[in-house]
Amino acid sequence: MSEQLLPGYYIRRGSTLERSLLVKFMQRTYQHLFPEQDFAHLARTVEQYFSRDTPLWWVDFLGETGEKIASSSPHSSVACLWVGNAIDQVQGDRHAHIFLLYVEPEHRRRGIGTALMQYIENWATQRGDRQIGLQVFQSNQAALNLYNQLGYQTQSLWMVKSLNSNKQ
């Protein structure tokens, strides 16, 4: 069952049967940021973490008439939101953590990302969460702008160090 998210766009809860579509959306997200990288390993990530406890929502573009738009794609989904759970290491409270927010390029700048973030904030509030966490790549300026406009603030920095097998 779906409900209108924005005019022409409807949100529906995904099922664990949609693993392959989730993998495709994840690959598109990362391929956009890292075009030379192979992301076949993301199927393992979905296999390991996607469950009934990590909800997924799809946004379908049905147009103004509310009927599925003919497309070359086998699905009408143009965006998705996948959420998990995390524990605030300072307070100890469980909270929602956004694993993936993706909007197809031709549907960006129409308010879908903002509407999805408002949707998840309402969902998280209703289940008793007091915060939402997410990770965003420093090079993803569009996402950083969105999250900053919505009031998200940097709480910590995730730092990495590459370990070369060739020791000097």
What does the pLDDT look like over 87-104, one tens digit per residue? 988 889 899 999 999 999
- Domain contains 164: no
Residue 168 in this model has a pLDDT that exceeds 80 = no
- Domain contains 59: yes
Instruction: Quickly state the pLDDT bin for 70 (edges 50, 70, 90).
Output: very low
- Domain contains 161: no
- Domain contains 156: no
58 in the Ramachandran plot: left (φ > 0), alpha (ψ -120 to 50) or beta? beta
What are the Cα distances from residue 143, in Å, to 5, 21, 33, 147? 20, 22, 11, 6
- Domain contains 165: no
- Domain contains 83: yes
- Domain span at residue 17 reads 2-149
How many domains in the chain?
1
CATH code for position 102: 3.40.630.30
133 touches 97 (CB < 8 A): yes
Task: Compute φ and ψ for 166, nearest 5 degrees.
Answer: -90, 95
Amino acid at 116: L
What value does the mean pLDDT of the chain take? Answer: 90
- Domain contains 11: yes
The DSSP output letter for 165 is: S
- Domain contains 67: yes
81 touches 100 (CB < 8 A): yes
